[in-house]
Amino acid sequence: MKKYEYKITGLDCAMCAKRIEDYLSTRKEVFSVNLNFTMQSLQLEADEGYTKEMLFKEIQKIEPGVSIEEVQTEEQEKEEEKTLSFDYLRILIGLVLFLISLVVPHFLKPFFVVASYIVLVLKTAKRAYYNLKSKTLNENSLIIISAVGAFLIGKMSEGFMVLFLYEIGKILEDKAIEKSRKSIADLMDLQVPIATMKKGNSYIEIAPSEVKVGSTILVKKGEKIPLDGILLDTATEIDAKSLTGESAYQTKEKGNLLLSGTINMKDAIHIKTTKKYEDSTASRILNLVENASSQKAKAETFVSKGARIYTPVVLVLAILVGVFLPVFTSSTYQNSIYHALLFLVVACPCSIAISVPLAYFTGIGVLSKNGVLVKGSAYLDKLRMMKKIVFDKTGTLTTGEFHVTKTITEGHLTEDEVLFYVALGEAFSTHPLAKAIIKANQKKLPLKKVSQLKEEAGSGISYVYNDEKIKIGNHKFVKGSKVLDGTVLYLSIDGKYQGAIVLEDTVKKDAKKTISTLKNKKIATLMFTGDKKEVADKIGQELGIDTIEAELLPQEKYTALEKILEEDVITTFVGDGINDSPVLRRSDIGISMGGVGSSAAIEASDVVLMEDAPSKILKAIDTSSFVHHIIVENLVFSLGIKIGTLICSLFNFVTMWQAVFADVGVTILTILNTLRILREKETRKPRK
């Protein structure tokens, strides 16, 4: 099995893309397929011998006018621009020919009208032919029938107008969609074509995909970092706006992790790479965004499926109008045929078929710009419907960075001496608390004098120093210690309790406001943590969380979540994306907090927050609500205009001019309305 990716051009609509996707999924050589109409990308997993030529032949059976390319070159882009220029010229020639028909002698008029029809109809007729050849009816066929029918019943001007405005509408529609494509592509402009790698005492420029893990690369001031790695130099400042959406620079010290796609803003730096190109942050983000259309929302799926039967039904209804209207009314057959043609134009499904998937895709793109990765429209849609949200504590609501708040002494030791003994043992530990204790200690640690070091998982550390037997750990591990509230490490020397270190985790600066806003949105807040009950209660009460579950093992978190899910309400779990993987997968929406550098985070969750900011969840919910609001506006407006126009046509209040507005005009307006999502300063409607 092999993964393939192509750029696909010549698609007229989302329905055409859906037909290709459905057909390819039935081929035995193809294991999975995802065709993104908005991004013009085709991704599939198929047999290794499945060539581009074989794929092209299969696609031609469904959409003969479609072409595929592995990579779009500058020459191909120029060719597309030439095609667009030709379309402008063709429409202009058609208009000139028709205007000439208005002033020439009467016997010449039909020749110029027919010529204008032919010039305008060429592209639409070609699309309609290919569709009919693949046994498919769509709006191209409806427009051809309407225009030719109008010509045959003597409404030549109105038939021309149908073709002219439809062609203008298609160009404006393509430009509007292209604007969305380019805007979103700009948001994800993370890749770097060249990496400067150190080789001996010199540097060479190579493709990032050829750089091996453990290599040293040079990144100059103002350059994007091509691969994830560790900073080898003293310090620098990083512009991470492309990942997090935040404009403030981040200060990075020696040994800190730097992510690909971010920009070095100070002097040239050296980085030791920690991941291959395909596993780097920028590459994984791009892959995630490109595949975001694979998980479709119910509304998007409904539109795609309904479109396949919609056009044939419309055509049958138009025929019924043309045949039976004179039977039940005083209308003539010429008039009834005209009404049938109006019906075909008005009922074209373009506005719905395009605006719904475009709205979801644009919403996902906007969130990507703001540091929130959503794996598909299904999850984007669910965000606005959540009723309960469960948070992990450490690293999610708190920073996970502890600091010493109190040193307690018992016996003859001073506070500094208690801290020294604890730090001496913790210097050999990988526990998160160790870093805080070592940082608080002011004395030099004689590590070579430590012997018989032994760590007991979940309990503590024992070691020998100057012939003294030292034990550091929890209350059960250190005998004779007094039980204290909070996160505490107890110390004993030669079996006698000598003191303790009290540490506290820091609540994230935007956590309290986030919880408060969620509660205002009528979303119940919960916290699951493996920490002590008194510590969890303190944090939970400080933040105002509704329900607190403490001292939970990973499997107990899973069981507790299962009970909530039985209530059949949309429930979200927010965790660090690594040790919370089971619950992230089990929840309706799994959100990884600050997990952009972790492959486990991206794999386990449905939404990834690219920085440690709980408030990003609010941005995701508000964008979800706004996208839904736009979709509802588009559907109500589109269906309202179409239904109203159809009703008015029954009473002879509508001509082809109004009918084309109900199709092409409404389509353009719904697309322009959808593009409001791209406006960063758009005031999101709060979810009630």
Q: Do residue 363 and residue 237 come from a single domain?
A: no
DSSP 601-655: HHHH-SEEESSS-TTHHHHHHHHHHHHHHHHHHHHHHHHHHHHHHHHHHHTT---
- Quick one: which of 277, 245, 271 has its CA closest to 258? 271
CATH of the domain at 558: 3.40.50.1000
Element (H, E) at 687: none
Is residue 6 assigned to a domain?
Answer: yes
C-alpha of 548 from chain center: 31
Asked whether residue 66 falls in the same domain as residue 24, the answer is yes
Q: Which pLDDT tens digit goes with each residue over 379-396?
A: 999 999 999 999 988 878
- Do residues 430 and 550 both lie within one domain? no
Q: Are residues 408 and 364 in the same domain?
A: no
Task: Check whether residue 472 and residue 514 sit in a common domain.
Answer: no
Residue 424, classified by CB atoms within 10 Å of its CB into exposed (0-12), middle (13-18) or buried (19+), is buried
Residue 200 belongs to some domain of the structure: no
Total structural domains in the chain? 6
Contact (Cβ atoms closer than 8 angstroms) between residue 1 and residue 44: no
| Residue 559 pLDDT greater than 60, yes or no | yes
Task: Identify the bridge partners of residue 258 per DSSP, sorted by sequence position.
Answer: 229
Is 286 found in the same domain as 179? yes
Secondary structure in 3-state letters for 152-202: HCCCHHHHHHHHHHHHHHHHHHHHHHHHHHHHHHHHCCCCCCCEEEEECCE
Structure tokens at 113: 């009208």
Question: Other C-beta atoms within 10 Å of 361: how many?
Answer: 27
pLDDT tens readout for residues 463-521: 999 889 999 988 888 888 888 877 889 999 998 999 999 988 888 889 999 999 999 99
* Cα 339–Cα 343–Cα 348 angle in degrees, nearest 5: 160
Mean pLDDT of the chain: 82
Instruction: Specify if 683 maps to a domain.
Output: yes
The two three-digit tokens of residue 524, written as one number: 């119940």
**Cα-based distances in Å from 112 to 107, 116, 168:** 10, 6, 20
Determine the average pLDDT of the residues in 93-97.
Answer: 91
Confirm whether 228 is a catalytic residue: no
Give domain status of residue 651, yes or no: yes
Task: Note whether 537 and 608 are same-domain residues.
Answer: yes
- For residue 572, which amino acid is it? T
On whether residue 202 sits in a domain, the answer given is no
pLDDT tens column, 597-623: 456 666 778 898 887 889 999 999 999
Segments forming the whole domain that contains residue 109: 73-126
Same domain, 241 and 290: no
Confirm whether 8 is domain-assigned: yes
Type of residue numbered 104 = V
pLDDT digits (tens, 9 = 90+) for 211-260: 999 999 999 998 999 999 999 988 899 887 766 656 668 888 888 888 88
pLDDT at residue 673 tops 50: yes
- Regarding whether 514 and 380 lie in a shared domain, the answer is yes
In the chain, DSSP finds a helix count (H) and a strand count (E) of 22, 26
Cα separation, 322 vs 335, whole angstroms: 8
Is the pLDDT confidence value at 125 over 50?
yes
What was the pLDDT predicted at 522?
94
Whether residues 159 and 307 share a domain: the answer is: yes
Cβ atoms within 10 A of the Cβ of 460, count? Answer: 23
Active-site position among 392, 531, 606, 663: 392
Domain boundary pick from 586, 616, 646: 616
pLDDT for 685 equals 46
CATH code, domain with 50: 3.30.70.100
Q: In this structure, are 381 and 521 located in the same domain?
A: yes
Rounded-to-integer distance, Cα 597 and Cα 620, Å: 20
> 60, exposed or middle or buried, with CB in 10 Å at 0-12, 13-18, 19+?
middle
CB 412, CB 610: distance < 8 Å: no
In a domain, 196, yes or no: no
DSSP H stretches of helix in 508-605:
511-520, 533-543, 554-565, 581-586, 599-604
User: Is 595:605 a contact under the CB 8 Å cutoff?
Assistant: yes
What percent of the chain clears pLDDT 70, i.e. is strictly above it?
84
Residues 379 and 361 in one domain: no
pLDDT tops 90 at residue 547: yes
Would you give the end-to-end CA distance of the chain in angstroms?
47
Q: What tokens were used for 554?
A: 């990973």
Q: What pLDDT is stored for residue 167 in this prediction? A: 82
Distance (Å, rounded) from C-alpha 202 to C-alpha 668?
56
Residue 409's CATH number:
3.40.1110.10
pLDDT surpassing 80 at residue 352: no
Alpha helices in 188-272 (DSSP H): 241-244
Q: Identify whether 257 is part of a domain.
A: yes
Query: Among 254, 275, 296, where does a domain finish?
Result: 275
Helix (H) or strand (E) holding 396: none
Single residue among 507, 523, 549 that ends a domain in this structure: 507
In this structure, what are the phi and psi dihedrals at residue 679, rounded to the nearest 5 degrees? -75, 115
Contacts of 415 (CB under 8 A, 6+ apart): 407, 409, 499
The dihedral sign for the CA sequence 343, 344, 346, 347: positive
